[in-house]
Structure formats: C-alpha cells, structure tokens
Chain A
Amino acid sequence: MSEAAVPQGTRPKTFDVGRLGVYAVLIVASLFFLIPLWVMLMTSFKTMAEIREGQILSWPSAFTAEAWPKAWLSACTGLTCDGVRVGFWNSVSILIPSVIASIALGALTGYAMTFYRVRGANLLFAILLIGAFIPYQVFIYPMVRVFSLIGIYNSLLGIVVVHVIFGLSLMTLLFRNYFSSLPVELFNAARVDGAGFFTILRHVILPMSAPIIIVATILQVTGIWNDFILGLTFAGRDYRPMTVLLNNIVNSTQGEAAYNVDTAATILTALVPLAVYFASGRWFVRGVAAGAVKG
C-alpha cells in the first residue's frame, strides 16, 4: 500500500469509463465504414445463386473468384464486351500526363506568386481561389464549345488539359502556401549567386519541396482517377476512363444483374486510390489538411 501511494516515476496508466466510451465509438464507426467494403468483397466471391438468397453479409458458401476475370476481361459495356481493362489503361494514360502537368504548372505559378512579387499577385491568387469554389458543371458547356472549336474535344489532349485547368487552383494554393513557409533569404542567396528564375526553382526550391510534391501527387492521382463527369464529357469514345466504363457495365445489363461481376469491377476501379491511401499513410493526412479548403 505505502509504496503505491508515493507518486514517483512514470505515472500509472488508467483505464476508465470515459476511455471505454471512446473505444466503443471508434469501433462502431469503423464497422460502419467497413461494412460496405465487406459486402462488396463477399458478393464478388459468391455465385449468382447464392447472391439471390439475399444474405449480403454472409461468408460465401461456395467460394468462387470467377467474377473477377470476367469483370476485368469480358464484362459488357453496351455492345463491346472487353471488361474494365480498357478503361484501366485509358485512365492510366489520362492520369500520368495530367498529374505531371498539373503539378508542374501549379509549382510554377505558386513559385512565381511567392517569390516574384508579381504586380497584382494577391488579386490573381484571389481569382484563382474563387475558381476553386465554382462548381465544374458551370464550365462544362462553354468548355465543350471552346474545345470543339480548337479541335481538342473528345481527345486525350482535351481531357488532360481539362484536368490541368481544374487542378490549377488547388495546386497553386498548395505550392504557394508551402513556398511561403520557406525562408525568402534562401531565394535571395540564390539570386546573389547568380541563379535565374528557372534555375532557382529547379536547383534550390524544388529539391526542398518533396513533401508538398508528394501531397500534390496524392491529391491529383486520387482526384483524377475518381473523376467521372469530366471523363464522360471530354475524353471521347477512345479514352473513356475506368469510372465511365464501370458505370456502363453496371447500367447496361441484359437480363439479370450480375452483382458479383459489378462488385468485382467496382473494387478493381477503386484499387488505385485505395493503394494510394494505404501507401501514402501520413502524407495523405497532410494532403487532406492542406487541401482542407477543397474537400
């Protein structure tokens, strides 16, 4: 008794009702968000006969993976039956140039606005920010007209340009905020050393910007991969992204809906952002915080 009563050394851990409540809430909340994923996974491994029984939460009684290759290779989207595979490669070819170009441009504009006090930089930045809050839908019709006028409507270039434009405000905001936290003296030192606009960006600023480049990549990869409406509108028949193909598979069934194929196709489509979330961990949290102004 007496030895326990003297406060000394590490404070003992306590576990009380309040803490129990916190854990209970966390467990319930994670179940709530995990159940849809569970249902999707289970359904994708069931036969149609079992799905018809309606036990969506149950473990598959006859485990079968045959819906997966079907979803990837031969699910029908209207007239063609090539699965989501085509969409996957379309999405990849949209994603890579869009992510690289939008990050490069955002870094450039953010850099110019931070270090080269351009006349009216604050006004420009405000306009760019407003751009981030105007819904996409407003732009679609005028952009379709402009793009078809200059001949890039329904093309890979068209959809990439659209992604770069819509990503510009967020990317600029992200880079500008990050660059503002860098000491301006570093930029001055490089100027005294004789470095110019692009030399400073390339040799001094960008090598220090790994954290924000990672964050920007995460935001752009997940954002562009998950995009549906822009891909539907601007990509044309040849470059329909995976999300559009998934929608076509799910909505254009003849006869009975093949839920196991649909769920497999959906999981396949979600795999890229899912992988990004898992791989990036703490970076993603930072990205969410940095991009808090735009959910």
Chain B
Amino acid sequence: MGAVSARNVAIGFGDVSIIENLSIEIAEGEFIVLLGPSGCGKSTLLNAVAGLIDIQKGQVWIDGKNVTWAEPKDRGIGMVFQSYSLYPRMSVEQNLSFGLRIAGRPKAEIAARVAKASKMLQLDPLLKRKPAELSGGQRQRVAIGRALVRDSDVFLFDEPLSNLDAKLRSELRVEIKKLHQELGNTMIYVTHDQVEALTLADRIAVMKGGVIQQFATPHDIYHRPANLFVAGFIGSPAMNMIDGTLAQRAGKWMFDYAGGAVDMMRYPFVSKPVAGSAILGVRPEHIDVGAALPDRFATKGKVTIVEPMGGETVVWTEFSGKPFTIKVDGDSTVSLGDDIPFNFDVSRASAFDAASGQRL
C-alpha cells in the first residue's frame, strides 16, 4: 500500500527535455524529499507522479499498479500545492468536501471524513470561513486537510511552505512531520529548502538537471555527499573546497595543496584511491579553533571577516590561498585580524575527483 516508483521516465515539453531517463523506487510509508535548485525537474517529476503532466517514456507505478495513463483522481494520491490553491468561492468545509461531493459519496461519510481531517489539523473554528479570510498558515493547513480527506495512500507536496514566513514555516514543518508519524502514508515532498529536506525526510533525492545526484538518508547526504554538486548544495555556509592533488608517498596517501599537505590515512575512501587532481571538502562546522588533538590536521590563518549569527559565528580566514569559513560558537572571542590556529578531522571530510566531481 503506497509504494511509488518511476521507471525510466522521460518528461519534456515539445522539444525541451526536462528529465531524460529517471528511475526512483519509494517504499511504502517513506517520507521522500525531492531537493534541488529551481529548474532541476523536481516539481516536474512530482507532477508526473500526480498525473498532471504526461510523461514521454517509462512508467509510473503507485501501490503496485501501473498508473502511467491513469487520471490524477484514479491514482490514489492527495496533493498540496505551493500557492494553496483553495477554491476561493467555497468555504473551508466545502473546500475539504469538494472531491467527495463530486464523487457522490453519502453525506454521512463526507461529514465524518471532513470532521476527522478538521480535528487533526485544528480547523474546526475555521470551517465556515472563506479562504480569503484565512492567514497563509491556515490556508496551507486547509490545503493539507483537503488532501487528507481523500484518504489516499500517497501524499504529494509541491513546495507547500515556500509562501509562508520563517516562523510559520517551522511550525507547519513540525505539523507535517507529526502528520506523517500519525498516518504513516507515503509522502513525496518537493522543496528547494535544505532545512526542510533534512528535517523531514527519511531519504532525500538531490536533483540537478533532471538527474538524481544522490538518493540517501539526510545523514548520508550531509556527511557523505556523493559528488561536488551535492556537497556544495547542502550546508550553509557552504562546504570549504580545497583544490589539490592526491599522491601516494611512503605508502601513505597525501593530499597536496598550495602550501602544504594533508595526511589522508584516516579518510574512508569509497574505492581504491588513484593519484591525480582532487578536491578536499571540509564543512565549516567540522573545524575547531584552537590547539589540535592528535590525528587531526592542524594549520592556522588570519581572520578576514567575522559574521556573528546569534547562536554561532562564522569566521572567514584563508587556506591554500582561498577564502575558508569556520563555524564557531556564538560566544567565541575571535576578532578581526587575529591569527588563529584551527584543525579538522580528515575522517569527516569529503574528497572528490576534480574531473568527474565524484566522491573518492
């Protein structure tokens, strides 16, 4: 119940190809986030799963049935859109029950299902209002309720929180997560916001140019990005990228950069390392300022910019001739012009092949 899969799907409009050949298998009850910059094809893929746009090649399966040619209403899905898309001339209650009413369901059943959804999302006081009389957050809750009423196995969310302000966004994010825990449906959620992706997802599919770059748990996406794109896209401030070459010396793999070398002994290579151009990525939050513990790579640099962000402070320095950011505690006393020692653990870093951009 509720497994979704897209198999060798191609989507395009006229001559413009958005997705050339994409496959994804989503297990029942999973919360999947499709994450990527605008134009990466994530919404297109979601709409194809919903049946709102036709695919050119491949198949879409939902709940063990081939629904490639099925109408949206016959796919067993509920969908929430970015712009809420509530029917403006109908009250909240009518919005919730519209689908059931046109399907000709008995009145008692409609009332029961609306009441259940309304209770779950605390919409009871709003039932008689028109969408125009609701705030953004309330509107989106009604939109979620409309999908809920359909009692479908699969929920599709198309950037549902993008139109809300930061506070509401984090509130509703929690509500959506709770909803998933209560209902246990399969959920596919499109967003360009990495915080939403990391907090909500069981697995994240990071997309770029119609291709899934990495499909893994939030932990893996963050700590073991599969390629340079994923590494750069996730994390704020972005991962520090150091250009250099990988070479074997005295039986040890070393990463040589302009001005020094990093011992790669502790780095967990994915495959057997090969000498050549490489890029070493280190997250700003994995760097410590101060004296180094053994086994850690240590160096120092001059502070060029200090950006206090409240709970934490981003310190800019230079490494290998390029800007380098370090995240330190908000109470830290680092100030402009200081010469600071800093160090990081190579086992938490990410090394990429410079040519292919793939993780080493």
Residues of A within 8 A of B (CB): 183, 185-186, 188-195, 199, 203-204, 207-208
Contact A191 B71 (CB under 8 A): yes
- B145 close to chain A: CB less than 8 A: no
- B137 close to chain A: CB less than 8 A: no
The CA of A190 and the CA of B94, in the complex, are separated in Å by 13
Nearest CB to that of A189 among chain B residues? Answer: B85
The CA of A155 and the CA of B99, in the complex, are separated in Å by 45
The CA of A193 and the CA of B96, in the complex, are separated in Å by 10
Report A-chain residues with C-beta under 8 Å of the C-beta of B146. 189, 193
Contact A192 B72 (CB under 8 A): yes
Residues of B within 8 A of A (CB): 47, 50-52, 71-73, 77-79, 81-83, 85-90, 98-99, 102-103, 143, 146, 150, 158
Least CB distance from A180 to B in Å reads: 15
Contact A186 B87 (CB under 8 A): yes
Q: Which residue in B83, B89, B150, B158 is a CB contact (below 8 Å) of A193?
A: B150
11 further A-B contacts with Cβ under 8 Å, apart from A188-B52, A190-B87, A199-B102, are A183-B85, A188-B50, A188-B79, A191-B52, A192-B79, A193-B98, A193-B150, A194-B73, A203-B87, A203-B98, A207-B89
Report B-chain residues with C-beta under 8 Å of the C-beta of A199. 102
Nearest CB to that of B143 among chain A residues? Answer: A189
The CA of A207 and the CA of B95, in the complex, are separated in Å by 13
Report A-chain residues with C-beta under 8 Å of the C-beta of B150. 192-193
Least CB distance from A34 to B in Å reads: 41
Report B-chain residues with C-beta under 8 Å of the C-beta of A203. 87, 98, 102
Least CB distance from A119 to B in Å reads: 11
Least CB distance from A230 to B in Å reads: 36
The CA of A189 and the CA of B77, in the complex, are separated in Å by 11
Least CB distance from A92 to B in Å reads: 31
Write 20 A-B pairs (CB below 8 A) sorted by A numbering. A183-B83, A185-B158, A186-B87, A188-B50, A188-B85, A189-B79, A189-B86, A190-B87, A190-B98, A191-B73, A192-B52, A193-B98, A193-B146, A194-B72, A194-B99, A194-B102, A195-B73, A195-B102, A204-B87, A207-B88
Contact A194 B89 (CB under 8 A): no
The CA of A192 and the CA of B49, in the complex, are separated in Å by 11
- Assuming the contacts A194-B99, A194-B102, A207-B89, asked whether A185 and B82 have C-beta atoms less than 8 A apart, the reply is yes
* Majority-rule SS of A interface residues: helix
The CA of A183 and the CA of B143, in the complex, are separated in Å by 15
The CA of A160 and the CA of B47, in the complex, are separated in Å by 43
Report B-chain residues with C-beta under 8 Å of the C-beta of A183. 83, 85
Least CB distance from A226 to B in Å reads: 33
Report B-chain residues with C-beta under 8 Å of the C-beta of A207. 87-90
The CA of A189 and the CA of B89, in the complex, are separated in Å by 14
From B51, B85, B103, B158, name the one whose CB has the most chain A CB atoms within 10 angstroms. Answer: B85
When A and B form their complex, which 7 residue pairs have the shortest distance between CB atoms, in order from nearest? A194-B73, A193-B99, A207-B89, A189-B85, A185-B85, A185-B81, A186-B85
From A189, A195, A199, name the one whose CB has the most chain B CB atoms within 10 angstroms. Answer: A189
The CA of A191 and the CA of B52, in the complex, are separated in Å by 8
- Assuming the contacts A194-B73, A207-B89, A208-B88, asked whether A189 and B81 have C-beta atoms less than 8 A apart, the reply is yes
Report A-chain residues with C-beta under 8 Å of the C-beta of B87. 186, 189-190, 203-204, 207
Report A-chain residues with C-beta under 8 Å of the C-beta of B99. 192-195
The CA of A207 and the CA of B52, in the complex, are separated in Å by 23
The CA of A158 and the CA of B158, in the complex, are separated in Å by 50
The CA of A193 and the CA of B73, in the complex, are separated in Å by 6
Least CB distance from B169 to A in Å reads: 19
Q: Which residue in A185, A186, A192, A208 is a CB contact (below 8 Å) of B73?
A: A192
Report A-chain residues with C-beta under 8 Å of the C-beta of B103. 194
Contact A192 B77 (CB under 8 A): yes
Q: Which residue in A185, A189, A193, A208 is a CB contact (below 8 Å) of B102?
A: A193
The CA of A189 and the CA of B147, in the complex, are separated in Å by 9
The CA of A186 and the CA of B85, in the complex, are separated in Å by 5
The CA of A199 and the CA of B87, in the complex, are separated in Å by 13
The CA of A203 and the CA of B71, in the complex, are separated in Å by 19
Least CB distance from B134 to A in Å reads: 16
- Assuming the contacts A194-B99, A194-B103, A195-B102, asked whether A188 and B81 have C-beta atoms less than 8 A apart, the reply is yes
Report A-chain residues with C-beta under 8 Å of the C-beta of B89. 207-208
The CA of A203 and the CA of B95, in the complex, are separated in Å by 11
Report B-chain residues with C-beta under 8 Å of the C-beta of A192. 50, 52, 72-73, 77-79, 99, 150
The CA of A15 and the CA of B77, in the complex, are separated in Å by 65
Least CB distance from B4 to A in Å reads: 15
Nearest CB to that of B88 among chain A residues? Answer: A208
Least CB distance from A23 to B in Å reads: 40
The CA of A204 and the CA of B94, in the complex, are separated in Å by 12
Nearest CB to that of B152 among chain A residues? Answer: A192
Least CB distance from A214 to B in Å reads: 15
The CA of A185 and the CA of B82, in the complex, are separated in Å by 8
Nearest CB to that of A117 among chain B residues? Answer: B13
The CA of A194 and the CA of B102, in the complex, are separated in Å by 7
The CA of A208 and the CA of B89, in the complex, are separated in Å by 7
The CA of A165 and the CA of B179, in the complex, are separated in Å by 53
Report B-chain residues with C-beta under 8 Å of the C-beta of A193. 73, 98-99, 102, 146, 150
The CA of A97 and the CA of B252, in the complex, are separated in Å by 90
Nearest CB to that of A191 among chain B residues? Answer: B72
